């Protein structure tokens, strides 16, 4: 061998060693085979992909990794290789040792000997599972965007429209070809262009703009009220490269809101007229009722016949009931007009409760009403007359709804610097789901109380009185076992 041939041989050996090292270290599967399909080389990446070691694979037919339904592909590949053709990015499926099917992209090249004769083929295979999954995901997302009822479009940071779904065509009237490549100002009214500057500034900072209500202009010039949600679009490096917009036509919602507002205003007017009528009617009723009560008192003194006395007494009771109803109506009209006044003074609430119990007991002598308190005197700050009104209302309700059990208990306790008062009956009780409504205006519990009269105003007035005193009011009850009505008042400062 001549001296000048030694460096060339060394160079070739070095090149072969380098190629072998590349094949051994690459992440791509590299396999070679002869024209009969017998595997002649198998790199580590092939072992990782298919699970067969080099010893298991070399010498075996390439069908080792080809599913039965794809064996015809090998005939096609060998035919192309024999012709000297290269096959680029041939996507197919191959089977691993554990039976898992792997989607791959194949690049196949002929292998020639020193004489240029084709003696086999090399295959470079790349697993495209992730790419296919990503493509499937993108396809699904694209289908969702295309079929969405919401307008969905995207644009660059310079405002150039890059996508435009069918809902956008329907909303704005521009076709996809007309919109893509145009500036987003295509649909923005001139006086609202500053909004785009604001939106882009937020997007560039990576911020999302949610439910931004504005107006956009359709191709026919019509202004459309919309709600916009704008999100940044990022590349694989996390850099913001554009924005996606979801727009919803809120014309219907705005129309419904306007209609609701109009109905609310009409309701307020009607309610005010109703309250005005109730107030006027109540005032007009007070005068004849007062006269009737006076005449009945005179008549009661002059009637001596026991039967006629009973008639006069029952008539007085009905007039008293009517008077109480009118008083309630007057109080409600005062509350609605903001004219219900409280005369705040210090008073002994024990005395007020005792007086209320005494009043109700005398009018209902067949009921047993007891009053229990840890003290004989308890000073509070408030309107004694209104607090008595609350207690009388509680006691009156207890009697109305306790026809079978005629024992009623009144409690007073001092808790946490406040005063707590309760009135307990053993009557028909109230269903749990109705306890939240009993203090509402005109609300009446109908079950078991068909013969009980009233307008459903008493507890509403009690709630207003106690609330205006800075206290709380509530009820505990169980059907068939009675009710306890409670209220609290701040104690005297």
DSSP-derived secondary structure for 322-335: HHHHHHHHHHHHHH
| Position 3 pLDDT exceeds 50 | no
Q: How many domains does the chain have?
A: 4
Would you state the structure tokens that stand for residue 412, as one six-digit string? 């007073």
Res. 362 pLDDT band, cuts 50 70 90 = confident
| Position 173 pLDDT exceeds 90 | yes
* Phi-psi sector, 37: left (phi>0), alpha (psi -120 to 50), beta: left
Q: Give yes or no for a contact between 401 and 449, defined as CB atoms under 8 angstroms apart.
A: yes
- What's the N-to-C CA distance of the chain in angstroms? 120
Same domain, 368 and 458: yes
Question: What span, in angstroms and rounded, lies between the C-alpha atoms of 468 and 487?
Answer: 12
- The angle that helices 458-468 and 384-400 make with each other, rounded to 10 degrees, is 150
Question: What span, in angstroms and rounded, lies between the C-alpha atoms of 431 and 449?
Answer: 13
Domain assignment of residue 38, given as a range: 5-127
Instruction: Kindly state the percentage of the chain with pLDDT values over 90.
Output: 41
Coil, strand, or helix at residue 370? strand
Q: CB-based contacts of 407: which residues, under 8 Å, 6+ apart?
A: 367, 368, 370, 426
Same domain, 357 and 479: yes
Question: What span, in angstroms and rounded, lies between the C-alpha atoms of 300 and 304?
Answer: 8
Number of residues written out for the chain:
493
Same domain, 453 and 366: yes
The whole-number average pLDDT for the span 266-279 is 70
Same domain, 114 and 156: no
**Quick one: pLDDT at residue 395?**
93
Question: What span, in angstroms and rounded, lies between the C-alpha atoms of 108 and 80?
Answer: 9
The whole-number average pLDDT for the span 254-283 is 73
Domain stop point among 224, 249, 274: 249
Res. 283 pLDDT band, cuts 50 70 90 = low
Q: How buried is 303 (Cβ within 10 angstroms: 0-12 exposed, 13-18 middle, 19+ buried)?
A: middle
| Position 169 pLDDT exceeds 70 | yes
| Position 464 pLDDT exceeds 50 | yes
Q: Residue 385: enclosing H or E segment and its boundaries?
A: helix 384-400
| Position 493 pLDDT exceeds 60 | no
Same domain, 261 and 299: yes
Would you state the structure tokens that stand for residue 365, as one six-digit string? 């002598």
Same domain, 332 and 403: no
Same domain, 358 and 446: yes
Q: What is the pLDDT of residues 69-81, one digit of tens each?
A: 999 998 899 899 9
| Position 336 pLDDT exceeds 60 | yes
**Quick one: pLDDT at residue 286?**
61
Res. 347 pLDDT band, cuts 50 70 90 = very high
Same domain, 165 and 278: no
Instruction: Kindly state the percentage of the chain with pLDDT values over 70.
Output: 84
Same domain, 240 and 147: yes
Coil, strand, or helix at residue 116? coil
Same domain, 324 and 384: no
CB-hemisphere CA count at 13 Å for 352? 21
Q: What is the pLDDT of residues 175-216, one digit of tens each?
A: 999 999 999 999 999 999 999 899 989 999 999 998 899 999
Could you tell me the CATH number of the domain that includes residue 447?
A: 3.30.565.10
What is the DSSP-derived secondary structure letter of residue 107? E
Q: Comparing C-alpha atoms, which of 487, 490, 464 is closest to residue 412?
A: 487
The whole-number average pLDDT for the span 308-327 is 74
**Quick one: pLDDT at residue 324?**
66
Res. 389 pLDDT band, cuts 50 70 90 = confident
Question: What span, in angstroms and rounded, lies between the C-alpha atoms of 22 and 170?
Answer: 56
Coil, strand, or helix at residue 196? helix
Pairing of strands 379-382, 407-415: unpaired
Q: Comparing C-alpha atoms, which of 390, 421, 410 is closest to residue 489?
A: 421
Res. 58 pLDDT band, cuts 50 70 90 = very high
Same domain, 361 and 478: yes
Could you tell me the CATH number of the domain that includes residue 115?
A: 3.30.450.20
Coil, strand, or helix at residue 197? helix
- The angle that helices 251-302 and 306-336 make with each other, rounded to 10 degrees, is 150
Could you tell me the CATH number of the domain that includes residue 314?
A: 1.10.287.130
Domain stop point among 95, 127, 159: 127
Same domain, 410 and 441: yes
Pairing of strands 240-249, 118-127: unpaired
pTM of the model as a whole:
0.42
Domain stop point among 90, 109, 127: 127
């Amino acid at each position: 061998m001549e001296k000048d041939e030694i460096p060339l041989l060394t160079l070739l050996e070095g090149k072969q060693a380098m190629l072998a090292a590349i094949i051994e270290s690459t992440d791509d599967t590299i396999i070679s085979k002869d024209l009969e399909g017998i595997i002649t080389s198998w790199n580590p990446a092939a072992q990782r992909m298919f699970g067969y070691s080099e010893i298991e694979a070399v010498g075996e037919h390439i069908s080792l990794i080809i599913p039965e339904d794809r064996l015809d592909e090998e005939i096609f590949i060998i035919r192309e290789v024999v012709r000297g053709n290269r096959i680029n990015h041939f996507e197919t499926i191959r089977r691993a040792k554990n039976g898992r099917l792997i989607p791959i992209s194949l690049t196949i090249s002929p292998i020639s000997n020193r004489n240029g004769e084709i003696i086999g083929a090399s295959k470079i295979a790349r697993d495209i599972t992730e790419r296919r999954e990503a493509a499937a995901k993108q396809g699904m997302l694209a289908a969702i965007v295309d079929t969405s009822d919401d307008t969905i479009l995207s644009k660059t940071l310079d405002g150039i429209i890059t996508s435009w779904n069918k809902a956008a065509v329907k909303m704005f009237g521009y076709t996809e070809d007309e919109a893509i490549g145009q500036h987003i100002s295509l649909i923005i009214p001139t006086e609202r262009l500053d909004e785009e500057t604001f939106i882009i500034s937020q997007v560039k900072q990576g911020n999302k703009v949610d439910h931004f209500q504005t107006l956009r202009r359709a191709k026919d010039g019509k202004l459309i009220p919309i709600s916009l949600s704008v999100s940044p679009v990022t590349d694989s490096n996390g850099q913001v490269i554009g924005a996606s917009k979801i727009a919803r036509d809120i014309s219907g919602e705005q129309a419904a809101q306007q209609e609701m507002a109009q109905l609310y205003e009409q309701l307020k007017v009607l309610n005010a007229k109703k309250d005005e009528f109730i107030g006027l009617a109540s005032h007009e009723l007070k005068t004849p009722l007062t006269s009737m009560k006076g005449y009945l008192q005179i008549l009661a003194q002059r009637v001596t016949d026991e039967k006629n006395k009973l008639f006069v007494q029952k008539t007085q009771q009905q007039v008293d009931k009517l008077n109480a109803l009118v008083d309630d109506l007057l109080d409600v009209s005062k509350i609605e007009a903001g004219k219900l006044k409280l005369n705040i003074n210090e008073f002994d609430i024990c005395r007020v409760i005792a007086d209320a119990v005494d009043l109700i007991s005398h009018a209902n002598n067949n009921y047993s009403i007891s009053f229990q308190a840890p003290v004989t005197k308890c000073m509070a700050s408030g309107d004694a007359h209104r607090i008595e009104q609350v207690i009388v209302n509680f006691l009156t309700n207890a009697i109305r709804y306790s026809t079978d059990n005629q024992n009623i208990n009144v409690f007073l306790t001092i808790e946490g610097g406040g005063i707590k008062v309760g009135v307990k009956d053993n009557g028909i009780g109230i269903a749990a789901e109705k306890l939240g409504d009993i203090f509402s205006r005109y609300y009446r519990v109908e079950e078991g109380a068909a013969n009980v009269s009233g307008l459903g105003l008493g507890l509403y007035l009690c709630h207003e009185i106690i609330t205006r005193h800075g206290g709380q009011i509530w009820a505990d009850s169980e059907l068939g076992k009675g009710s306890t009505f409670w209220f609290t008042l701040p104690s005297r400062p």
